[in-house]
Chains A and B, each alone.
Chain A
Amino acid sequence: MSMPFDIDQRMEGRIEDVGSFVQNIVNDLIRMVIFTGELTLVVWDAVRHPRRIRRRETLYYMDMCGTDAVPIVVMICILMGIILGFQSAMQLQKYGGDVFIADFVSLVIVKEMGPLMVAMICTGRAGSAFAAEIGTMKVGEELDALRTMGLNPVRFLVLPKLLAMLLVMPLLTVFGDIVGIFGGMIIAVLKLGLPVVVYYNRATAAITPLAFLLGLLKSFVFAFIITVIGCRRGFSAGNDAQGVGRAATSTVVSAIFWIVIADFVLTFFYSMIGE
């Protein structure tokens, strides 16, 4: 008797869930756009008055998000290269296309995996740290203090992080790319017995400077996404310790989500211009 009613109600609940999920995403997106607008004003202001940029913080974040991330980036990317090398070697060997491992690994690393892996690492390291930092400041009323001191928290807190990330992530990606290609070479040499010179020649022939730079542009975009999401989640964190934790978690989740979306859009866009 009550079964259809239950199902109806459950269905309704599901539909509501989906609706509120979509609404959350849309709201989040709108707030993100507003925040980006705010940030744009601040960046414009910084461009006009470069002396007002807080240099010390910028350097600190460059050090924290860049230098300190090099070991993990190198490790992850070399493993990524090895994994890609392994997988492609197994497939390519079937068709005798052993040499193409160089093309495959280097192009995939430079165009996709390098920027993506670096972005994932930076999301975990920097994005969540930004959210937690700003969230903690919010709990400690430091944001209010900044505001009542007439200091724009976005300029004061976000700009150094943004500049640092924009400068540092493409550089990290350079490391990641080169090391990833090297990882592929390890497999090409050890598993397929390809001479190093052959791998080197094929890899350098496969990668065009434009493809390389477009990969770096991707990580530039990712840097923006990570910083914006991390900082925004920090600003909207709840006023308690759990709020800070949630802000860090949701930073990682939504940053990865938007990075993948952006990667898709960029890849699509790149394919339209023929890269």
Chain B
Amino acid sequence: MLEANKFKLGLFVIVALVLLISSLFVFGLSEMFKTSMPVYTVFKTSIQGLSVGSAVKYRGVPVGKVSRILVRGEEELIIVQMELDVSVFKTENDRQMDMKSLNRMLQEQMKRGLTCGLEYVGITGMKYVELDYVNDEKNFTPLPQPDGVAGCYIPSRQSMFQNIVKMINQSLSNIASINIPEISRELSSILKHTNNILSDPKITRTIAHLEQVAQKLDQSLGNVNKTLTPKKLDEMFNLLSSDLRNFNELIVQVKQEIEAAKISKTSEAFRNSLNSVSETKMAIINTLLRMDQTLDSITELVNTVDDDPSVLLRGKQNPPLTGRGDRIKTKFLPSSAAAPASGGAQ
């Protein structure tokens, strides 16, 4: 009655213990047996969202964890210490890297611009440390290495989001430097000129004359139609020749009058001013186009995020979704190049 079913009990205990130990290993106890390499970086800006235990990734591949975050008040520095899992790094022939070679590799990569940046994990506002390369090495000035911290120093860079903000600021300052008052002043003077020319009394008269001529021609044609007989042809030719003579005189007169109005000079000036207007307009269009592109990209980013916010969450680590994340990033790159270009057009 009080006898335990020993087989059942034994089976239960064994299965439970096996599950316990294996799940402990699965949940990360195995990390205790991994060799890790201490590295650290320094930030002068806020690291909001980063905490001890946050992931460290090399271009999206998890390679370690944040182990400690220190604040050095007097230097206004935030020191982030990390542990890199050495076993992730392999040599060319797929062999395990040791600490020394990993250190050498990191030093080499740092010369090529390897830096630490903070990227968002997702909508949660949590961040991770992304090891990646800076875009323009020439403009990059790393923070100086602080002393008294153990491990390999990897300088920090600004994050993608900081870059976006920077780009937008640049575009806005470019737009701000366009001299809109002057352009409008020029335009108004051109319009005034044109107005003057059109309101010249001689030109008005010439136009009236031209109208009369056209009327006469009309009459003539009517006459021709009515009296298309050989008898009348002579008369008609006479009339025609006198008409033509009149017309000739008129043209000479018009020429003279146009000469007198110096129309060629005016039109030249007009042409010049139109040219300059169109140039300015082109410059504005260019700038606005670039702006538009930038905004388009942002809109697209917002739309993509709106449609499927998990794009942000999944970041780079989820292969099927990586394409989307990358597209957002690459979309931004030409627009960042466009921002200085619009400045150049100015």
How many Å from the CB of B250 to the closest CB on chain A? 79
Do A171 and B314 form a contact, CB below 8 Å, given A56-B3, A66-B9, A96-B309? no
Complex Cα spacing A208 to B28, Å: 6
Contact across chains for A174 and B313 when beta carbons are under 8 A apart: no
Contact across chains for B19 and A63 when beta carbons are under 8 A apart: no
Note all chain A residues with C-beta closer than 8 A to B6: 59, 63
Contact across chains for B16 and A174 when beta carbons are under 8 A apart: yes
Q: Does A53 contact B (CB under 8 A)?
A: no
Q: Does A178 contact B (CB under 8 A)?
A: yes
Residue of B8, B13, B27 with most partner-chain A CB within 10 A: B27
Q: Does B12 contact A (CB under 8 A)?
A: yes
Do A174 and B13 form a contact, CB below 8 Å, given A59-B6, A60-B4? no
Note all chain B residues with C-beta closer than 8 A to A178: 19, 23
Note all chain A residues with C-beta closer than 8 A to B11: 67
- Name A179's closest neighbour in chain B (CB-CB): B19
Complex Cα spacing A67 to B14, Å: 11
Note all chain A residues with C-beta closer than 8 A to B24: 209, 212-213
How many Å from the CB of A96 to the closest CB on chain B? 3
Q: Does A198 contact B (CB under 8 A)?
A: yes
Contact across chains for B27 and A204 when beta carbons are under 8 A apart: yes
Contact across chains for A175 and B16 when beta carbons are under 8 A apart: yes
Note all chain B residues with C-beta closer than 8 A to A208: 27-28
Do A95 and B2 form a contact, CB below 8 Å, given A198-B318, A209-B24? no
Contact with B along A243-274 (1 / 0, CB 8 A): 00000000000000000000000000000000
Contact with A along B1-33 (1 / 0, CB 8 A): 011111011011100110110011011110000
Note all chain A residues with C-beta closer than 8 A to B313: 96-97, 99-100
Which of A63, A174, A198, A204 touches B8 (beta carbons < 8 Å)? A63
Contact across chains for A60 and B2 when beta carbons are under 8 A apart: yes
Note all chain A residues with C-beta closer than 8 A to B16: 171-172, 174-175
Contact with A along B63-87 (1 / 0, CB 8 A): 0000000000000000000000000
Note all chain B residues with C-beta closer than 8 A to A59: 4, 6, 9
Complex Cα spacing A60 to B17, Å: 19
How many Å from the CB of A136 to the closest CB on chain B? 14
Note all chain B residues with C-beta closer than 8 A to A97: 122-124, 309-310, 313
Contact across chains for B12 and A174 when beta carbons are under 8 A apart: no
Interface size of A by CB at 8 A reads 33
Complex Cα spacing A63 to B318, Å: 45
Q: State which size class the interface on B falls in.
A: 20 to 34
Do A212 and B2 form a contact, CB below 8 Å, given A70-B12, A96-B310? no
Contact with A along B252-288 (1 / 0, CB 8 A): 0000000000000000000000000000000000000
Which of B2, B28, B122 touches A204 (beta carbons < 8 Å)? B28
Q: Does B200 contact A (CB under 8 A)?
A: no
Note all chain A residues with C-beta closer than 8 A to B311: 96
Q: Does B136 contact A (CB under 8 A)?
A: no
Contact with B along A55-79 (1 / 0, CB 8 A): 0110110111011001000000000
Q: Does B308 contact A (CB under 8 A)?
A: yes
Complex Cα spacing A261 to B331, Å: 54
Do A67 and B20 form a contact, CB below 8 Å, given A97-B310, A99-B310, A208-B28? no
Note all chain B residues with C-beta closer than 8 A to A64: 4
Q: Does A139 contact B (CB under 8 A)?
A: no
Complex Cα spacing A99 to B314, Å: 8
Complex Cα spacing A170 to B24, Å: 13
Complex Cα spacing A216 to B27, Å: 14
Note all chain B residues with C-beta closer than 8 A to A213: 24
Complex Cα spacing A59 to B13, Å: 11
Residue of A96, A170, A171 with most partner-chain B CB within 10 A: A96
Contact with B along A164-178 (1 / 0, CB 8 A): 000000111011011
Complex Cα spacing A39 to B12, Å: 27
Note all chain B residues with C-beta closer than 8 A to A212: 23-24, 27
Complex Cα spacing A177 to B28, Å: 16
Complex Cα spacing A177 to B123, Å: 28
- Name B305's closest neighbour in chain A (CB-CB): A96
Note all chain A residues with C-beta closer than 8 A to B9: 59, 62-63, 66-67
Complex Cα spacing A171 to B29, Å: 18
Complex Cα spacing A172 to B310, Å: 36
Complex Cα spacing A201 to B16, Å: 22
Contact across chains for B19 and A175 when beta carbons are under 8 A apart: yes
Contact across chains for A204 and B318 when beta carbons are under 8 A apart: no
* CB-CB contacts below 8 Å: A184-212 with B: 198, 204-205, 207-209, 211-212
How many Å from the CB of B274 to the closest CB on chain A? 53
Note all chain A residues with C-beta closer than 8 A to B13: 62, 66, 171
Complex Cα spacing A213 to B20, Å: 9
Contact with A along B114-128 (1 / 0, CB 8 A): 000000001110000
How many Å from the CB of A142 to the closest CB on chain B? 14
Complex Cα spacing A205 to B24, Å: 12
Note all chain A residues with C-beta closer than 8 A to B314: 99
A-B contact pairs, 21 of them (CB 8 A): A56-B4, A62-B9, A62-B13, A63-B5, A63-B12, A67-B9, A96-B308, A96-B311, A97-B122, A97-B123, A97-B313, A98-B310, A171-B12, A171-B20, A174-B16, A174-B23, A175-B16, A198-B318, A207-B27, A213-B24, A216-B20
Measuring CB to CB, which residues of chain A are less than 8 angstroms from any residue of chain B?
Answer: 56-57, 59-60, 62-64, 66-67, 70, 95-100, 170-172, 174-175, 177-178, 198, 204-205, 207-209, 211-213, 216
Q: Which A-B residue pairs are the 3 nearest by beta carbons?
A: A96-B309, A171-B16, A63-B4
